[in-house]
């Protein structure tokens, strides 16, 4: 038997009686700490640090009788973490961050593309194995509300979204991966995720509606599907959306910092 404790939002995956408390975890034969964590309900990509008897271990550590296991998310690492070595659990997240989303997150995919993030979104149903393979092949962050999908062994980076609201999902993703400074002024193609590049008006004039041709002179074109974009009324809406997201992220950070200070002052 070992003693486990999960911290922060990892408790979202646990039954109420095991949240924010030490609990006994019986096992009859040697098991890896990864196996026991996922058997408790927590997908491994959600875990950022595992301490056993105060020392960091990787997912392959075999839990021993009497071990004290502490499991931390990215959002709530212990204060001494900066002095520790880099995470033993996975390589550092590649930058710029890129994503793959399951079929139920279409609006979130659109939001991420609006902010300039490379975001794959299947235009038809992929099974869990295919999504996991695509995520692993390109070091993409897999976003889903299906914790079973995140437990696939080949998934390295991933996040289980807690809310069905796309705006709240976006704020959670930006906050979790600290992507505030990575927001781009030029979006990705909303149709296919391709990169947008400036294109001379003369090259695409034959494709424009008369009013568009008369009132606009600057255009971008998707390098993948040739969709044309220009700074019409939608452009102001996009800029307003970006500003609102930035404000939401800043407010969320402020609430988190205030909570941390309150907890620290109470100790």
- Cis ω before 96 (30° cut-off from 0): yes
Place of tokens 């902010």: 115
User: Could you report the per-residue pLDDT of 216-267, keeping only the tens digit for each?
Assistant: 998 999 999 999 998 875 667 777 877 887 787 777 667 766 655 654 555 4
User: Could you report the per-residue pLDDT of 119-140, keeping only the tens digit for each?
Assistant: 999 877 778 889 999 999 999 9
What are the start-end ranges of the E strands in 80-187?
Answer: 99-101, 119-120, 141-144, 158-160
Identify whether the C-beta of residue 46 lies closer than 8 Å to the C-beta of residue 6. no
User: Could you report the per-residue pLDDT of 13-30, keeping only the tens digit for each?
Assistant: 999 999 999 999 999 888
What would the CATH number be for the domain defined by 2-83? 3.10.20.30
Identify whether the C-beta of residue 7 lies closer than 8 Å to the C-beta of residue 76. yes
pTM score = 0.86
Distance CA 77, CA 255 (A): 17
User: Could you report the per-residue pLDDT of 89-124, keeping only the tens digit for each?
Assistant: 998 888 899 999 999 999 999 999 999 999 999 877
Structural domain boundaries in the chain: 2-83, 99-187+233-266, 196-230
Distance CA 159, CA 177 (A): 10
């Amino acid at each position: 038997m070992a003693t486990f404790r999960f911290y922060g939002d990892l408790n979202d995956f646990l039954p109420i009686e095991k949240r924010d408390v030490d609990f006994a975890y019986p096992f009859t034969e040697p098991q890896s700490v990864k196996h026991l964590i996922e058997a408790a309900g927590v997908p491994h990509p959600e875990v950022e640090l595992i301490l056993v008897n105060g020392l960091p271990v990787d997912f392959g550590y075999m839990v021993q009788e009497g071990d004290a296991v502490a499991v931390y998310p990215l959002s709530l690492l212990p204060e001494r973490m900066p002095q520790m070595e880099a995470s033993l659990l996975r390589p550092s997240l590649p930058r710029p961050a890129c994503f793959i989303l399951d079929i139920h997150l279409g609006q979130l995919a659109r939001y991420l593309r609006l902010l300039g993030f490379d975001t794959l979104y299947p235009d038809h149903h992929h099974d869990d194995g295919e999504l996991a393979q695509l995520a692993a092949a390109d070091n993409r962050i897999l976003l889903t509300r299906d914790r079973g999908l995140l437990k696939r062994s080949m998934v390295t980076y991933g996040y289980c979204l807690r809310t069905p609201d796309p705006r709240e999902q976006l704020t959670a993703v930006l906050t979790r991966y600290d992507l505030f400074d990575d927001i781009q002024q030029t979006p990705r193609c909303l149709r296919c995720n391709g990169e947008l590049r400036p294109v001379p008006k003369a090259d695409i004039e034959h494709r424009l509606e008369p009013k568009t041709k008369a009132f606009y002179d600057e255009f971008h074109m998707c390098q993948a599907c040739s969709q044309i974009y220009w700074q019409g009324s939608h452009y102001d809406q996009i800029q307003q959306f970006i500003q609102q997201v930035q404000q939401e992220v800043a407010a969320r950070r402020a609430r988190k910092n205030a909570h941390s200070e309150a907890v620290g002052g109470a100790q």
